[in-house]
């Protein structure tokens, strides 16, 4: 039994048995083996009626087994859809709490390579857990994919339902079922029917939750509960509008050049392979930006989000018995990925005198005690601090990793928005690696992970890449299935925008304007330079600020930890003056996020997320009005603490 280095939890033993899809054989197997979890599809000849589904529900319910039924083969987006027995059952009967429906929209004739899936469940615990695990392992679904499928569902439903309000909601994550309000939530997409009582689809208004049975159903693994309970991925807003300074997303205005490229990609038809082949331009990009060496042995892998690629790297680390090493002051989402997948994890100490950067001397001491280390480095721009690694600092770090034979993962996803590029100088990884290649351990290798949403100033467009040079690692990576790949329209847009970046003026000029906005906001949070309306900012509100040099985030340490504040149980009462349902919170690293959110509606990342005790993270790529509101929230929280 392997032990995780951090929490000492043993691995859960999982035995997988492949089973037939035909329902009668599957039910016989379920009764004899009594499995804890059943993941199955349903045969085509049994899909038309609901009888096979009902039998599966009864068989799994009797023994307390969770059922995940995949109906992807039968769900077709068409104006003349076929009958699906599972959906017919759901139209009039609540789904038992032990069962969930999984569906990938694979039968899509318009954009056949667009990958989106949804889950239907009526158990709140499952939906909340899935929403967090999706965000950890895969990242948010791109807005383009959401709106595309939102439009399709709207069109297919609009002419079939009478007296239907023309309203559609699109959401990025699974939230919760709301049958009493006439809503069917389909995982990554929410289709809002908005029916009036007594009208069409009134059956949904009368749905009642199934009474809980005494049969015990398998719960979540201990490691999963630990991560999901502590991960700062989502917060219940109770219908109250929140200001999100805790997410790595771009909310500044999208430049017209980017909009035009996205529109062109959807308007084009019959695109050739050469028009959507992004490998040559990505190869040129990593060579120009970071000096990363590429040759015929370099393999580029693409996905919608960098989290999906990183999660596969963690699996590779686990497979070879390695340990993921994170500097104190790393992206909390990536740390959560490693913990959720039950990888051995180690935190490398950093100190405030060096801006919480990874240093060669400390790294050598940590690595010399470890076998098969994997070192994660966020750079050139460090998330969350917003500081930069110089080329020399990176060479020193790689030299230390080479001597111990560590596998290095350099994450460039948060780079490309340096405030003073000329003063920094950039990277030349090829030169660094050529100096240490002869003295390095044979197992030493460097993988380059990156995302282009920030670099190309597009929050709606999701695109990530991974460059691998080690043949064994390439083979191991491809042994893990389930990677969501970018759609051809995304590839066309990325290639177009990278081409525009190489031209003088245009996109580069727009990028410089956006960088100046970010730099001014960073100064605004540290210094009193904003406006008469908000003369008090972080430092005047009792925060010790570490000023960033790049990117969309920064960190600061509050001086009022240890004090206590009163907060409302529900965010609905935030700012309303109601004090009848309050409780007291002592401000600590673990409680500060909750206290700020429930008193002001502002969401930040705590020191638990940043990995730097006492230091919280603030992202600054917000809409202008929301940024002003965020400053006002900081002032408000200071007054609450003082009072």
Report yes or no: 322 and 407 within 8 Å, Cβ to Cβ: yes
Spatial distance between the Cα atoms of 343 and 324, rounded to a whole number of angstroms: 7
Residue 573 has what pLDDT? 55
User: What CATH code is assigned to 243-252+529-642?
Assistant: 3.90.1150
The CATH fold assigned to 279-489 is 3.40.640
Residue in the structure block whose two tokens are 């615990």:
125
Report yes or no: 64 and 215 within 8 Å, Cβ to Cβ: yes
Three-class SS state of 592: helix
Residue 10 has what pLDDT? 42
Three-class SS state of 190: strand
| Residue 229 CB-density burial (10 A; 0-12 exposed, 13-18 middle, 19+ buried) | exposed
Residue 188 has what pLDDT? 29
Spatial distance between the Cα atoms of 564 and 581, rounded to a whole number of angstroms: 16
- Sorted by sequence, the CB contacts under 8 Å of residue 306 that are 6+ apart come out as 139, 411, 413, 449, 450, 451, 464
Residue in the structure block whose two tokens are 């002051």:
329
Which residues does residue 378 pair with via DSSP β-bridges, in sequence order? 411
The two tokens of residue 50 are 């609901």
Identify the sign of the CA torsion 499, 504, 510, 515. positive
The two tokens of residue 565 are 């504040």
Count the neighbouring beta carbons within 10 Å of the beta carbon of residue 637: 23
Residue 296 has what pLDDT? 86
Mean pLDDT by 10 residues, the chain (643 residues): 36 74 86 89 87 91 90 79 84 88 78 75 83 78 72 67 42 30 29 28 40 65 79 68 86 86 85 90 92 91 91 94 94 90 92 91 91 93 94 93 92 90 84 78 89 76 90 92 83 89 77 87 66 56 88 91 81 55 84 89 91 92 90 89 84
Q: What's the N-to-C CA distance of the chain in angstroms?
A: 52
Report yes or no: 233 and 244 within 8 Å, Cβ to Cβ: no
Closest of 103, 40, 34, 87 to residue 63, by C-alpha? 34
The secondary element (H helix, E strand) that includes residue 74 is none
- Sorted by sequence, the CB contacts under 8 Å of residue 514 that are 6+ apart come out as 252, 255, 417, 457
Count the neighbouring beta carbons within 10 Å of the beta carbon of residue 362: 18
Residue 205 has what pLDDT? 35
Spatial distance between the Cα atoms of 359 and 31, rounded to a whole number of angstroms: 58
Q: Strands 602-603, 243-244: parallel, antiparallel or unpaired by DSSP?
A: parallel
The secondary element (H helix, E strand) that includes residue 81 is none
- Sorted by sequence, the CB contacts under 8 Å of residue 228 that are 6+ apart come out as 129, 132, 133, 220, 340
- Sorted by sequence, the CB contacts under 8 Å of residue 89 that are 6+ apart come out as 50, 53, 54
The secondary element (H helix, E strand) that includes residue 378 is strand 373-378
Spatial distance between the Cα atoms of 1 and 3, rounded to a whole number of angstroms: 7
Residue 327 has what pLDDT? 95
Spatial distance between the Cα atoms of 162 and 413, rounded to a whole number of angstroms: 47
The secondary structure of the chain in percent helix, strand, coil, rounded to multiples of 5, reads 40, 15, 45
Residue 527 has what pLDDT? 60
The separation between CA 219 and the C-alpha centre of its own chain, rounded to angstroms, equals 23
- Sorted by sequence, the CB contacts under 8 Å of residue 109 that are 6+ apart come out as none
Q: Which residues of 179-207 are buried (b: 16+ CB within 10 A; e: fewer)?
A: beebbbbbbbbbbbbebeeeeeeeebbeb
Spatial distance between the Cα atoms of 140 and 118, rounded to a whole number of angstroms: 13
Identify the sign of the CA torsion 28, 29, 33, 39. negative
Domain residue extents for the chain? 23-159+182-209, 243-252+529-642, 279-489
Residue 576 has what pLDDT? 52
User: E-assigned strands of 306-343?
Assistant: 323-327
The two tokens of residue 153 are 């569902």
């Amino acid at each position: 039994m392997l032990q995780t280095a951090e929490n000492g939890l043993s691995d859960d033993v999982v035995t997988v048995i492949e089973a037939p899809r035909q329902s009668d054989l599957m039910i016989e197997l379920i009764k004899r083996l009594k499995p804890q979890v059943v993941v199955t599809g349903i045969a085509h000849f049994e899909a038309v009626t609901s009888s096979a589904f009902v039998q599966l529900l009864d068989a799994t319910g009797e023994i307390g087994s969770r059922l995940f039924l995949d109906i992807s083969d039968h769900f077709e987006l068409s104006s003349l859809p076929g009958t699906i027995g599972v959906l017919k059952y759901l139209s009039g009967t609540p789904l038992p709490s032990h069962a969930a429906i999984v569906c990938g929209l694979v039968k899509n004739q318009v954009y056949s390579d667009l990958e989106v899936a949804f889950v239907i469940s009526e158990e709140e615990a499952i939906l909340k857990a899935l929403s967090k695990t999706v965000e950890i392992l895969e990242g948010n679904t791109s807005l383009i994919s959401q709106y595309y499928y939102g439009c399709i569902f709207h069109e297919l439903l609009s002419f079939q339902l009478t007296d239907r309000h023309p309203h559609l909601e699109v959401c990025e994550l699974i939230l919760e079922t709301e049958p009493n309000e006439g809503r069917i939530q389909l995982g990554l997409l929410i289709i809002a029917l908005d029916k009036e009582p007594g009208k069409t689809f009134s059956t949904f208004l009368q749905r009642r939750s199934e009474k809980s049975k005494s049969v015990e159903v398998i719960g979540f693994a201990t490691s999963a509960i630990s991560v999901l309970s502590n991960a700062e991925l989502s917060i219940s807003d109770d219908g109250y509008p929140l200001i999100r300074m805790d997410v790595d997303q771009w909310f500044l205005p999208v430049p017209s050049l980017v909009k035009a490229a996205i529109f062109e990609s959807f308007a084009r038809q019959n695109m050739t392979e050469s028009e959507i082949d992004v490998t040559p331009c990505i190869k040129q990009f990593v060579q120009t930006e970071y000096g990363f060496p590429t040759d015929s042995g370099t393999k580029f892998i693409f996905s919608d989000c960098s989290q999906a690629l990183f999660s596969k790297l963690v699996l590779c680390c686990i497979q070879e018995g390695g340990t993921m090493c994170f500097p104190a002051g790393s992206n909390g989402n990536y740390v959560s990925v490693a913990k959720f997948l039950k990888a051995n994890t180690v935190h490398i100490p950093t100190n405030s005198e060096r801006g919480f950067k990874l240093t060669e001397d400390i790294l050598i001491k940590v690595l010399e005690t470890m076998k098969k280390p994997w070192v994660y480095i966020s750079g050139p721009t460090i998330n969350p601090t917003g500081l930069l690694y110089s080329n020399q600092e990176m060479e020193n770090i790689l030299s230390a990793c080479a001597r111990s034979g560590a596998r290095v993962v350099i994450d460039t996803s948060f780079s490309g928005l340096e405030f003073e590029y000329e003063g920094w100088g950039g990277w030349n990884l090829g030169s660094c690696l050529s100096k240490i290649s002869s003295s390095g351990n044979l197992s030493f290798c460097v993988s380059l992970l990156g995302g282009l949403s920030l670099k190309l100033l597009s929050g709606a467009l999701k695109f990530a890449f991974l460059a691998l040079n080690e043949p064994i690692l390439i083979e191991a990576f491809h042994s893990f299935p389930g990677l969501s790949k970018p759609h051809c329209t995304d590839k066309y847009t990325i290639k177009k925008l990278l081409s525009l970046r190489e031209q003088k003026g245009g996109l580069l000029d727009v990028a410089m304007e956006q960088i100046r906005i970010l730099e001014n906001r960073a100064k605004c949070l540290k210094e009193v330079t904003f406006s008469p309306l908000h003369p008090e900012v972080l430092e005047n509100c009792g925060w010790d600020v570490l000023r960033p040099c790049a990117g969309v985030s920064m960190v600061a340490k509050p001086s009022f930890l240890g004090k206590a504040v009163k907060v409302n149980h529900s965010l609905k009462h935030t700012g309303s003056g109601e004090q009848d349902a309050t409780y007291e919170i002592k401000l600590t690293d673990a409680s500060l996020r909750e206290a700020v959110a429930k008193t002001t509606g502002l969401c930040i990342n705590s020191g638990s997320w940043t990995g730097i005790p006492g230091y919280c993270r603030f992202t600054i790529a917000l809409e202008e009005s929301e940024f002003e509101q965020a400053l006002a929230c900081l002032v408000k929280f200071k007054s609450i603490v003082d009072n």
